[in-house]
Structure 1
Amino acid sequence: MSLALAEAKYVRRDLIEHIVTEDDEPVDNLYSEKLQRMLTHSLYSSWTPPPDEDHPKKARKFLAAANVGIFFAVAEKPLVPDVFLSLDVAPHKDWYEKQHCTYFVWEFGKVPEVALEIVSNRKGKELTDKLKTYARWGIDYYVVYDPQKRLSKDVLCVYELGFGKRYRPRKDFMLPTLGLGLTLWQGVFEDHEDEWLRWLDAEGRLIQTGEERAAQAERRAAQAEQRAAHAETQASQETQRASNAEAELEKLRAELAQLKRSGAKKKNKT
């Protein structure tokens, strides 16, 4: 734990009464709002965090949130990433209380592992001030998604914290310690086709949204029903073939018996 975080851990509750944790200002466009929901919901729908080295068999909790402030220190202005991801934490059961209603670092005991910003204008300072602040506070991965290239020629930048709390870009867009990656995906989300930012798992496969998982489950159920119907049809056909074979055998036996009786009568006449 950094010295700054260790100091921030001990904050009297009365010192945060003046802090504004939420406001009524509309800050997102429709695309950003949908993307935030896709990025958070897909993690809860389809992602399992990598095991903790100290407790490999224990399932890990995580908190993924959109448009929630991260308060690093009482006297410091918070940052409000479009999405953040923090491992091994969970919201407090009394999350309406002031000290639990947002991400106070001293309450959660750690900073998030990922902060993600969606650029919508040139005023956000995502590649300058915010980048420096996230690095100073030890956020492992910082993602800047700039779909309209307002800040640079790069639509997607993924930074990993390195030596001296400096970010270095990752050209592969992977977040290796989390078993996650990011990619640009052209497709439909909530009836709207566009290019979207999507999570990948460690093998490079898309992490599915809840809708995609439901659709996949429906396809599998339909395929299982088709296989069952096919097997039933085959069984019925096999039964019919067996019945036909049995009837044919009985017919042949009857003909054979008739032939034997005819042969015996001929012998008796001679």
Structure 2
Amino acid sequence: MATPDLYRNLPTSDELSDSDDIPVDNEDQNFIPNALLFLLQWIWQARNDWFFGVDMAIYHTTGANPRVPVVPDAFLSLGVERRKQGKSRKSYVVWEENGIVPILAIEIVSQTPGAEYDEKAEIYAKLGVLYYVIYNPDFWQRDRHQPFEVYRLVNGSYQLQLGEPFWMPEIGLGIGRVRRMVSGIELELLSWYNQQGSRYLSLEERAERAERLAARLRELGEDPEQL
């Protein structure tokens, strides 16, 4: 728990910019993190001690200037309010979150290199982000990396982890890739997994499965509404 004196005289979230007015240059950088968010809202619907940010600024005091944020494509923090004092966050300000830094950061590599493997990795490591996921489905050969990589912070440095989906015990979730149909289009996405390696289904998939089951029951002469 941070002490009040540690963050004395720092700007408040109302004083900090919540947008750099620079749009993302890759459709996946918006869709994939939001798909993870919507799925997590169902998995952890009974919990209020987490926050998942998408393309949101993280303000911290481990850099040269606390007014200069780092902006991951997505991040997860545990032990914080889902809605801070009942309101939406403009940005994630570490000194307003009792010093709690995100436990997971996710970057999706686009055509324009974004320093995911060096500068941003150094920032997240210094900040203390435990897990760092880099998803690079299209440009991994250019960057001489694998399409999906999970790093864990060990003694202040990131070490590449093995296995997919990769289980993160401190979070209670696994993460990995999946190919599935979304509104009639086959896409590769990131998804959450349980400890047994089974993928959590999206709302769309669960609705489709329920409809197939209902149709099968009707074929057998059963009324699914009466079951």
User: Structure 1 residues 171, 29: closer, same or farther in 2, change over 3 A?
Assistant: same
Task: Summarize the Cα distance change of 1:127–1:214 in structure 2 as closer, same or farther, 3 Å threshold.
Answer: same
Partner of 2:131: 141
Q: Is the 8 A contact 2:13 2:90 kept in 1?
A: no
Task: Tell me which residue corresponds to 2:29.
Answer: 32
Question: What is the number of equivalent residue pairs in this alignment?
Answer: 215
Structure 2 residue matching 1:177: 3-state secondary structure? coil
Q: How does 1:198-237 map to 2 (within 5 A)?
A: 198-225=191-218, 229=222
In the alignment, which residue of structure 2 is the partner of 1:87? 78
Task: Deviation per CA, 1:44-99: give whole Å up to 9, x if none.
Answer: 12x249xxxxxxxx945321121011111292321111111112222224646xxx
Correspondence 1:53-92 to 2 at 5 A: 59=47, 61-73=49-61, 75-76=65-66, 77-89=68-80, 90-92=82-84
**Counterpart residue identity of residue 158, structure 2:** Y
Structure 1 equivalent of residue 96 of structure 2: 107
Partner of 1:161 in structure 2? 153
- CA separation of 1:59 and 1:34: change in aligned 2, threshold 3 A: closer
Equivalence for 1:119 = 109
Aligned to 1:193, what secondary structure does the other structure show?
strand
* Paired AA for residue 71 in structure 1: Y
CA distance in 1, matches of 2:108, 2:177: 13
Structure 2 regions of 5+ residues with no counterpart?
none
- The CA distance in 1 between the partners of 2:146 and 2:4, in whole Å, is 37
- How far apart are the structure 2 equivalents of 1:83 and 1:33? 9
* Contact residue 53 and residue 76 of structure 2 kept, 8 A: yes
Structure 2 residue 120 is the aligned partner of structure 1 residue 130: yes
Displacement of 1:139: 0.7
1:268 is aligned to none
Q: 2:143 aligns with which of 147, 151, 154?
A: 151
Alignment match of 2:17 (pick from 9, 15, 20)? 20
**Matches of 1:14 and 1:171 in 2, distance apart?**
40
Q: TM-score by structure 2 length?
A: 0.81
Is the CA contact (8 Å cut-off) linking 1:9 and 1:105 kept in structure 2? no
Query: What amino acid does structure 1 have at the position aligned with 2:222?
Result: A
Identity of paired residues, percent?
A: 31
CA contact under 8 A between 2:175 and 2:193: conserved in structure 1? Answer: yes
User: Is 1:189 the equivalent of 2:182?
Assistant: yes
CA pair 166-7 structure 1, distance change in 2 beyond 3 A: farther
Q: Bigger shift: 124-133 or 172-181?
A: 172-181
Determine if contact 1:8/1:72 at 8 Å carries over to the other structure.
Answer: no
Q: SS of 1:40's equivalent?
A: helix
Per the alignment, residue 242 of structure 1 pairs with: none
Q: AA paired with 1:21?
A: D
TM-score, normalised with respect to structure 1: 0.69
Q: Aligned-pair distance for 1:195? A: 2.2
CA distance in 2, matches of 1:60, 1:38: 19
CA distance in 1, matches of 2:151, 2:51: 20
Are the counterparts in 2 of residues 43 and 207 from structure 1 also a CA contact under 8 Å?
no
Q: CA deviation at 1:13?
A: 6.3
Cα pair 2:13 2:93 within 8 Å, conserved: no
Q: CA RMSD in A?
A: 2.9
Moved more, 69-78 or 152-161: 69-78
User: Mean alpha-carbon deviation: is it higher for 140-149 or for 219-228?
Assistant: 219-228
Larger helix share, 1 or 2: 1
